[in-house]
Structure 1
Amino acid sequence: MKKRLFSILLALCMVLCLVPTTAFAESETEETPVCTCEIACTEETMNTECPVCGAEGALAENCGKHVEPAAEGEASQPEGEELQENQDSDMPDTQSEAALAQVSGEGENGIAVQSAGVAIDNTNFPDANFRTIVEYYDTNKDSSLSDTEIAAVEEIDCYDKGISNLKGIEYFTALRSLNCGYNQLTSLDVSKNTALTKLYCKKNQLTVLDVSKNTALTYLRCNRNQLTSLDVSKNTALPSVSLMGSH
């Protein structure tokens, strides 16, 4: 019996002596591989030359360039790359600049001239009938009067068109002749139209008419209104005959 136990123990010792002792040491001294990828790996494309990503069964999440998905509302970006600056924030606000560029200041006649033009709208020309007349001078049909288009208007004929408001006439600073007779005008401001030589505003409902700024007038017809007085002391070029029936 003792011999049999001794034989068993001897056999076990021989088996243990055959097991390599270096296998235990390697796990303690081996260095952890470092990822050498230049770009982030995906599940479809793994870098086989990388000691980490090229290992059998490697996951794309183990790649050194891999970035976890950004939280909602945040932009995701690979490590080492800079976020692209928002071009809109660096670019000038073209709409704001265009709006500022429209106004070139006060002209010789005190009118704020817009270099980008005067919009043909309800604000600048509130009377729809007069606005229709003005649209005729919009030669390029862009619903706006450019400086060139305004400068080309030397005569406006809106005779008997049912107009009750001539607001907007002040933009036409090159105007030389205005025929607005037989309408429903209760006021008429031609103080900015200093180039006027002819004014026909007969048969309206005017109670006041100021032509003191229109010193170039050579023709005036304003009778059949409700004028009680008319000062033409500044209109030295105006023949007295043209004032007949003005009251």
Structure 2
Amino acid sequence: MNIGHEAVLAGKHVVIVGGSSGMGKATAKMAQSLGATVTIASRNLEKLASAASEIGDGVRVSPLDTTNEQTVKAWAAALGPVDHLVISASSAAHGAFADLPTDDLRSMFEAKFTGPYVTAREVLPYLQAGGSITFFSGVLSRRPAVGATGLAAVNAAVEALSKGLALELAGRVRVNCISPGMVDTEAYASMTSEARAAMYEQVGASLPVGRIGHSAEIAQAVVMAMTNGYLTGAVLDVDGGHLVRA
């Protein structure tokens, strides 16, 4: 049995929350190149417009604030039938356990766990049988780092949600989670170019592959999660070997 991604995604409606930048935008590009109809969503209208022009003709733009439940309900109802939902939108709050403000912790959980939870729930009535939901977590879920305990906890929560939904929604849609390592994205744009390059070099040198990741490599994993009908309840570690590094 040899079915290409093109055949599986052609004509399918792929909705990517967080599709205006980084790994979400890379996924949108790849899905559209494989024949899917793509809708990208995020809070930032300017970023959405820029991403749409980069992705090309045909991409749909749909503004969304996942932290506003009523807005999510109306947004989901306007989507029409959906074949694959990808939620790459994220938020990270760093700080020592004793120092991280509780409000920062709550905001991170709202953006990275509660928002995706509500979004998946509201899109579910419109998801076509045999479709999929793909969440995003991160390597800290199972290999925590000092100063990122809160982020590790929210990543672990997303992975538990993915596995639980894979069981609860069995026979209707498949549910998986992508756990990326460090990837060169706009998430680090606030750093100076020198500091960013130094961080990338340091982290990359610690990994078995000898470098950090690229957005397109994460997009490949998302496409696999969408198109492999035998995959559900999985956490795909696309991390350059982060979990097995010395």
TM-score tier by shorter-chain length is under 0.3
**Structure with the larger RCO, 1 or 2 (CA within 8 Å, 6+ apart):** 2
Bigger Rg, which one = 1
TM-score (norm 2): 0.22
Which is helix-richer, 1 or 2?
Answer: 2
TM-score (norm 1): 0.22
